[in-house]
Structure 1
Amino acid sequence: MFLFQPGFSQVKEYIIKHTTPVREADFNTTNDADLLPIEKAIGNKRIVMLGELYHGDGEELRLKSRLVRYLHEHMGFNVIAFESDFFSLNHGWEAFKKNKISLDSLLYLSVFPVWTQCMQANDLFQYINNNAGKLRITGFDNRGISGYGMRHLKRSIDGFLREQQVSFTTHPSYNTFITAIGRTPWILNGNNREALDSLLKLMPIVIEQVSDPFYLHVLKGLLINYTLALHYRYNKERKDHPQHDFQMAENLKWLASDKFANEKIIIWAHNSHVEKGPLENVTHRSYNSMGYYFSQDPQLAAQTYTIGLTCYEGTGGLTISDVTEKVTKPHKKSIESWIHSMGYPYAFTDLTFQQEEDLYYMKTYINTASELPWKKFYDGILYVREAKPCLKK
């Protein structure tokens, strides 16, 4: 303990020295000087990953939303990539550009309701609508079929495969395959084992015959969805599987390296997906994260600044559930406790110059914490003193 304490004191000293207050989370504030330290920390990086501790913390969403506005208006970030339906937010954006759907409808149908139905995120989505010609929207999550996907996925894939004259369209099982695609939401819920087995058998054949990068990512994502459905619905394997985060990383790599190769991109997701630390010694998940897979590309890693979010106290609650969850008291040797001692309602800590081996506690979810070398997971931390449940619109 005598040898450990001085090192620990140095970690605490670093956190306090490199933490700056964020005055407020009000989206419409006219004074953004308190966000200058975040701009300085990000520097010339063109990709910013914004995590969140809990999908149901309205205060985190307010703070994130304000930062998105700042990144767009002051730093030129012009793409927002949501942890939401990859197919819908890419195919749907093209439909929006052709005036086939309103942006408001596309967002409502495609972005997960934990955000679109949270009143504290309302300013963000209104801002996106108001800046449709300047901000571009995309998504990278392969899991979950949105309302837009339910309407267009089957017809879009069928039209593409026929237009490209993919040989499988003449296969005797093609109609069975494309019909099952249209029933994907029900199949994923475990309602048709025969159709699931058919898709698991036929999808790899189709993938081998497709070269278009967008549809290749769509089809690979669907295959992972069907594989996970087999694990969760039939084999009853409740453990986490790495395919989801792996495919999200593949989708995001394509977006960042090809589709938006020359753009500045904001990634909107959960902490557990954006964190870039390796699985080694991690107790809060049993798989490598999207951020880890993404950062294995040295060029992309060098272009990315990853921000985790955390909070000290309060209560969170999802808009899709009436259940609220109280934030447990942080460990006394945690970044939350140290920042709380400074009295800030919101704050930012830059971890850029911290030693990679420095260990301390931080929350990994609303009511759990882990002692890890957090510099390996995030480049910076946004802090909220009091979490507040999302309010339903």
Structure 2
Amino acid sequence: MKNILLFLLISWQYSFSQVHDGIYQLNSIDSLLTEEVKAVIDEEFQRKKVVFLGESVHYSGTDMLAKVEFVKYLVRKHNYKDIAFESDFFALLFDHHKRNLYSIWSKSSQCEKLFTFLEENSVTIWGFDNRLIAPYSYENFIKKLVNVLNKGGIELDEEYGRIANILIKNQYNSRKALSTDEIEFLYDYTKKILKTEVIKSNTLWIQILNSFNTAIELYTVRDNNSDKKRIAIRDRQMAKNLDFLIDQNPNKKFIVWLANGHMSKSNSANMDGQTMGFQFRQLNPESSYHIALGSIRLAPRTERDIEKAAKNDKSILSLLPKINNNYFIDANRLKKNNPGFGNRLFRDLSIFNLESDKTYLLNHFDALVFIAMGEEVKYD
């Protein structure tokens, strides 16, 4: 009997150590990365040209604070000197300033030290979103296009400039601000410009105008509250815009700052077209490493729900030794040591905020970062 009990104990300990080989406790949020975790990610960061850093929701201040710690390490240890945000592709091509980012980042208290750090370390800010949200785009898109066309002896139709500015100003309200004829004219004239010799010989403006064409579609497509059509349009072009930045800067390494959903490696049906990460990997195989971040305690999750989930082996929280500490899960290592995990559905209480809270979570990302105590973003 004693031998049987000893065997069962040893077997349980072996199984436990296998499951937890790939799960690492992190420090507090202000000095997040332990030496053990640094050793795990160093090899990946050295080999990869692009590191994606995702956040669960744009109101999670703790996700942002944790991402800042990764950014600091990437810059200081691995010499990443470029960071691309889920923000205005056009504006940030010409004006690499935080004022061209969404205010959720540029004006948040949690990102204040990030932008100071980027400036002090000469890190260049880029964008890859086809949405033209910065005042810079409204003020300069047509001006710069006119200058480029004039070099080829082409005069831009004033009506095109007028309608384009209405679109940029109104964004998702453009269906109300523009007639069907005006929208069609904008499409057709953009395609006409793309066929001119002065643009055909300009790689940058080919990309800008192709991105703008998808912005026309994004802002004017008829969609419902699910945003299913708009999500697919946006993610497809964001992957192409990011690919363009990487391709045009072959000797640079990029940090990519965005939402978890956009950077997922999966092309599963329940992603509903939110497949930028998958599409980018199709264009750049084996070049990127994807780290998703999520805060366990953040509205609308309750403590009761969290404690219940931690006891349920169908929940990703059941893999964590404790739910009151911060953790780093090396998804690739965990799947290697536990082959069945890649085909295992996990619930996550929407901690990582994918389209479904029941998914093959370990296949979406290379690593998962759990922050025990969440806080919402704050603004000065």
Q: TM bucket by the smaller chain?
A: 0.7 to 0.9
CA deviation profile, 1:210-245 (whole Å, cap 9, x unmatched): 33222222212221121122224xx65754121111
Q: In the alignment, which residue of structure 1 is the partner of 2:183?
A: 196
The TM-score, its normalising length taken from structure 2, stands at: 0.82
Match of 1:336 among 300, 310, 317: 317
Q: Could you tell me how far 1:247 is from its partner in structure 2?
A: 0.5
Q: In the alignment, which residue of structure 2 is the partner of 1:107?
A: 98
Query: Structure 1 residues 206-215 or 222-231, which shifts more?
Result: 206-215
Q: In the alignment, which residue of structure 1 is the partner of 2:292?
A: 308
Q: Secondary structure at the match of 2:332?
A: coil
Unpaired runs of at least 5, structure 1: 1-8, 94-105, 316-324
Q: Does the aligned pair in 1 maintain the 2:89–2:127 contact within 8 Å? A: yes
- Partners of 1:10 and 1:151 lie apart in 2 by 63
Q: In the alignment, which residue of structure 1 is the partner of 2:20?
A: 16
Q: Could you tell me how far 1:361 is from its partner in structure 2?
A: 2.5
Q: Does the aligned pair in 2 maintain the 1:119–1:391 contact within 8 Å? A: yes
Q: In the alignment, which residue of structure 2 is the partner of 1:148?
A: 136
Q: In the alignment, which residue of structure 2 is the partner of 1:376?
A: 363
CA deviation profile, 1:125-177 (whole Å, cap 9, x unmatched): 11112223xx12211111142122122222112212222445xx36xxx1111
- Partners of 2:132 and 2:242 lie apart in 1 by 16
The TM-score, its normalising length taken from structure 1, stands at: 0.80
- Partners of 1:279 and 1:309 lie apart in 2 by 20
1:296 aligns with 2:276: no
Q: In the alignment, which residue of structure 2 is the partner of 1:99?
A: none
CA deviation profile, 1:358-383 (whole Å, cap 9, x unmatched): 33223365597533223331111111
1:286 aligns with 2:269: no
- Partners of 1:11 and 1:271 lie apart in 2 by 30
Q: In the alignment, which residue of structure 2 is the partner of 1:261?
A: 250
- Partners of 2:371 and 2:32 lie apart in 1 by 20
1:270 aligns with 2:253: no
Q: CA RMSD in A?
A: 2.7
Match of 1:39 among 32, 38, 42: 42
Q: In the alignment, which residue of structure 2 is the partner of 1:163?
A: 151
Total equivalences in the alignment? 345
Q: Does the aligned pair in 2 maintain the 1:187–1:193 contact within 8 Å? A: no
Q: Secondary structure at the match of 1:287?
A: coil
- Note closer, same or farther for the CA distance 1:368–1:291 as it changes in structure 2 (3 Å cut): closer
Report matched runs for 1:220-239 at 5 Å: 220-232=210-222, 238-239=226-227
Q: In the alignment, which residue of structure 2 is the partner of 1:77?
A: 80
Q: Secondary structure at the match of 1:51?
A: strand
- Note closer, same or farther for the CA distance 1:196–1:10 as it changes in structure 2 (3 Å cut): farther
Q: Could you tell me how far 1:343 is from its partner in structure 2?
A: 4.7
Q: Could you tell me how far 1:314 is from its partner in structure 2?
A: 2.5
Query: Structure 1 residues 262-271 or 219-228, which shifts more?
Result: 219-228
- Partners of 1:263 and 1:11 lie apart in 2 by 42
Q: In the alignment, which residue of structure 2 is the partner of 1:388?
A: 375
- Note closer, same or farther for the CA distance 1:198–1:222 as it changes in structure 2 (3 Å cut): same
Q: Could you tell me how far 1:391 is from its partner in structure 2?
A: 0.8
CA deviation profile, 1:77-132 (whole Å, cap 9, x unmatched): 11101110001111113xxxxxxxxxxxx212x01111112101111011112223
Q: Secondary structure at the match of 2:250?
A: coil
1:136 aligns with 2:120: no
Partner amino acid, structure 2, of 1:372: T
Q: Could you tell me how far 1:208 is from its partner in structure 2?
A: 2.9
Query: Structure 1 residues 147-156 or 75-84, which shifts more?
Result: 147-156
CA deviation profile, 1:231-274 (whole Å, cap 9, x unmatched): 24xx65754121111110111111112x2211111010001111
Structure with bigger gyration radius: 2
Report matched runs for 1:326-365 at 5 Å: 326=301, 329-330=305-306, 331=309, 332=312, 333-339=314-320, 341-343=321-323, 345-353=325-333, 354=335, 355=339, 356-362=342-348, 363=350, 365=352
- Note closer, same or farther for the CA distance 1:228–1:380 as it changes in structure 2 (3 Å cut): same
- Partners of 2:143 and 2:240 lie apart in 1 by 24
- Partners of 1:252 and 1:10 lie apart in 2 by 43
Partner amino acid, structure 1, of 2:214: I
Q: In the alignment, which residue of structure 2 is the partner of 1:116?
A: 106
Q: Does the aligned pair in 2 maintain the 1:345–1:384 contact within 8 Å? A: yes
CA deviation profile, 1:263-306 (whole Å, cap 9, x unmatched): 111010001111110133x2xx3114111111113xx2212111
